[in-house]
Chains A and B, each alone.
Chain A
């Protein structure tokens, strides 16, 4: 039967009116909950909820809130305090660590944290050989149970910073009743002994945490934390502006951070991150085997322009691989080449290396387009501009997707690359040894080897006190600036943008948010 036009128009009008009414009905936020809730939006992701395999920062952040380690950083500082341990001793020059566990701590399945369970957890990491297992395998010789609450860890060789290693999520103990002994359990929501527990987990959509009733410490200030995952930094910003989320964290675009700051409607919390970016010269590929070439390019780098024009001031120029704020940091590259672009020095060095305006140094600069964010192409373009300002350098920019980039780097095929580094543990060793020690920098294609440097780094690993270690690391940084196989560019700042009523967001070089101190008020 044919339907009249009038009827169709009426039906269509009803549908439109109903849709608008529904929209208005739902345009208000849900009624306030009886319990307190904070919603955090992020473009990052949780990859693997098993500490034996988790090895990315955001997953570590979540694990740090649903589990604990033997030591924990005091918020706002780099001070490591005992967490699951009540006390500890270090013997044999740093080779033996005796941990006395707090008594009566329980996992959510009722299992008590004993030395047996702690040993099982550490052995499990070694057995599974997941991504971060090197934290155990590279350091630990054996783990022994001394008594019910005392654990003895004997290292392969003494290491001064092992306390910082013990604080990484890989060492977080898990319950043998909830985690399998010898395989990865990526979607396991059992958690550990932490201020929160997971009540809901929908991969790439949302993660819901609630205060853990078994937590031994002070109750979290907010009972419920919801993490909403976004695919796009712009959507994250818009979600904050529409009030759908309370905190936008990891990672807003620099332009969005500035614009949100200027609006005055939000708290823009800024902190010094320990995330660094740098240029790597493969010293096995000519002409980067010539020190003058590397030094010239180090002198010609315009860090301030990069920080201002590419990142809109959301990063800070860096003059060493050790980030500012970490003990032993010195501005080694500033001391050697100057704080700003030093074109005169760069040209002198290039001439010494046999280059001129008629015979330019040809540089193939590689970057990876998405792994470090959408600003990467701009960063490469700005570095090209810096170097070509000498009039004696010609830069060709090339790119490869992350997986390909890694493979080509490891094979030593790329002459000049851009990379970044999030520390595994907060110690100068982690910012120097993996880059500069022969063999340890295989992940960068073994770009550099200097026996004198190796010796300094090895000595600093075992030196008994911080002052001695600091002196050694200062020498390492000076040598680094002299040889310039790796040139630091900038240090990331951390930004979390929150609604005005959100408090307790602490950003420090640990770079992981502690949800338990965040609240609305």
Chain B
């Protein structure tokens, strides 16, 4: 336990230089790119004087090193700065406007991908060498190779337009009014005592999470299969069979649990990536998440928003990664830090 505590502390401390390096790279890359947020925002018709005035207001007329230090100083005080375009809203507020949508999609998509991947991978392992195994392995590759917008549009057409089972896009029905408290519609609906809001939020999540989940499940299919086959070949499994333990119990009680560890690593990485936003899914389903938001702000050269969002991502990914490693230690007693 003491070693685990020390490990956690070391990881937390290492996050600081990691974020600093990442931030510095992003800071300078953004400013090296041609174009600037003022031009992108004011467009074609602004006068030179107006452009220069806005650049001064945004501090873009200062030397690069000074802009960098000013930004770091703000960061030390927990200030991610303000957006450089459209009213200059605080970056934290911009992130919080979009992050809940990303979390909802990430959790839902992740759940679908893991469940589907676990089931298909386990079945493939158990039915090794059969047609079912071959089909599921092909499925694993096919799923991962699928182009999200294509699959998404297919679902929108079939389930949205033809069958009217699900909405084609968006996060909620605008006719259902749920006051925004946390930004998570499911939670806000519960807080408002509005079950229709909960159902509506889930209903809107269905197609995007299915699309995302199916594509991502391909990785898990293959990983779970490989991992399970490895464990199935272990001596302890042979011993369990020799003792007459039913195959079901061996599979679900012992094999899957042990095969889960490498899958857990992948899950941690996947989830962290999903929290960074699934740009293609967000675009296809007009999901107002952080992914498309960041892409838009890069196009507009909104330096502070891009920097702030990347810092946010970095901290998020490190946290998720640390949590995964700690969970690892609890699951697998062989792991010691």
Residue B17 at the A interface, CB < 8 A? no
Contact A22 B87 (CB under 8 A): no
Contact assessment for A129 and B164 in the assembled complex, using a CB-CB cutoff below 8 Å: no
- Nearest-neighbour CB distance to chain A for B100, whole angstroms, equals 11
Closest B residue, CB atoms, query A47: B86
Question: Does B169 lie within 8 Å of A238, measured CB to CB?
Answer: yes
A5 and B33 contacting across the interface, CB-CB below 8 Å: no
Contact A26 B200 (CB under 8 A): yes
Instruction: Determine if A202 and B35 form an interchain contact, defined as CB atoms under 8 angstroms apart.
Output: no
Contact of A238 among B45, B48, B161 (CB under 8 A): B161
A403 touches which one: B40, B48, B177 (CB < 8 A)?
B40
Judged by a CB distance under 8 angstroms, whether B168 is at the interface is: yes
Q: Which residues of B contact A (CB under 8 A)?
A: 33-37, 39-48, 50, 53, 86-89, 97-98, 153, 156-157, 160-161, 163-177, 180, 199-200, 202-203, 206, 248-249, 252-253, 282-288, 292-293, 299-301
* Shortest Cβ distance from A43 into B: residue: B286
Residues of B within 8 A of A229 (CB): 286, 288
CB distance from B78 to the nearest CB of A (A): 22
Known A129-B50, A186-B87, A406-B43: A205·B202 in contact at CB below 8 Å: no
Asked whether, in the complex, the Cβ of A37 is within 8 Å of the Cβ of B175, the reply is: yes
Nearest CB in chain A to that of B285: its residue? A235
The distance from the CB of A62 to the nearest CB of chain B, in whole angstroms, is: 14
- Which residue numbers of A lie inside 8 Å of B, CB to CB? 2-5, 8, 19, 22-28, 30, 33, 37, 39, 47-48, 50, 53, 55, 129, 131, 133-134, 184-187, 200, 202-206, 208, 226, 228-232, 234-235, 238-239, 241-244, 370, 400-408, 410, 419, 424, 434, 442-444
Closest to A227 in B: B174
When the two chains form their complex, are residues A23 and B284 in contact, meaning their CB atoms are under 8 A apart? no
Residues on the A chain within 8 Å of B36, using CB:
403, 407
Question: In the complex, what residue of chain B is closest to A370 when comparing beta carbons?
Answer: B299
Q: Is the CB of B284 within 8 A of A200?
A: no
Cα distance, A131 to B42, chains bound together (Å):
6
Question: Which residue of A226, A407, A419 has the most chain B CB atoms within 10 A of its CB atom?
Answer: A407
- If the complex has contacts A184-B88, A243-B164, are A4 and B43 also in contact, measured as CB distance less than 8 A? no
Quote the shortest CB–CB distance from B208 to chain A (angstroms).
11
CB pair A4 B42 closer than 8 Å: no
Are A3 and B164 interface neighbours, CB within 8 A? no
Complex CA gap A366/B176 in Å reads 46
Inter-chain contacts of A408 with B (CB < 8 A): 34
Q: In the assembled complex, which residues on chain A have CB atoms less than 8 Å from the CB atom of B53?
A: 129
User: B86: which of A48, A129, A239, A405 is its contact (CB, 8 Å)?
Assistant: A48
A406 to B44, CA, bound (A): 7
CB <8 Å contact, B40 and A402: yes
* B-chain residues with CB within 8 Å of residue A50 when the two chains form the complex: 87
Contacts of A206 in B (CB 8 A): 174
State how many angstroms separate the Cβ of A487 from the closest Cβ of chain B: 18
Residue in A4, A184, A443 whose CB lies within 8 Å of B45: A443
Tell me the nearest residue of chain A to B85, going by C-beta: A47
Which residues from chain B contact A185 at a C-beta distance below 8 Å? 87
Contact A242–B48 (Cβ < 8 Å): no
Task: A25-B199, A133-B50 are known; give 19 further A-B pairs, CB within 8 A.
Answer: A2-B249, A27-B164, A30-B175, A33-B175, A47-B86, A187-B87, A229-B286, A231-B283, A238-B168, A239-B169, A242-B161, A244-B167, A370-B299, A400-B34, A403-B35, A405-B35, A407-B36, A443-B45, A444-B44
Return 15 A-B CB contacts under 8 Å, by A number. Answer: A27-B166, A129-B50, A203-B97, A204-B98, A204-B288, A226-B174, A238-B153, A238-B161, A239-B167, A241-B161, A242-B164, A244-B168, A400-B34, A403-B37, A406-B39
Closest to A241 in B: B161
How far apart sit A408 and B33, CA to CA, in the bound complex (Å)?
12
Q: Are A232 and B284 in contact (CB under 8 A)?
A: yes
Q: A230-B286, A443-B44 are in contact. Are A242 and B39 (CB under 8 A)?
A: no
- Chain B neighbourhood of A401, CB < 8 A: 35, 299
Q: A2-B248, A402-B299 are in contact. Are A26 and B156 (CB under 8 A)?
A: no
Residues of A with C-beta under 8 A to B48? 442
State whether A238 and B248 are in contact (beta carbons under 8 Å apart), knowing that A22-B203, A231-B282 are contacts in the complex. no
The winner among A4, A50, A239 for most chain B CB atoms within 10 A is A239
Write the nearest CB–CB distance from A197 to chain B, whole angstroms: 16
CB contact between B299 and one of A232, A403, A443 (< 8 Å): that residue: A403
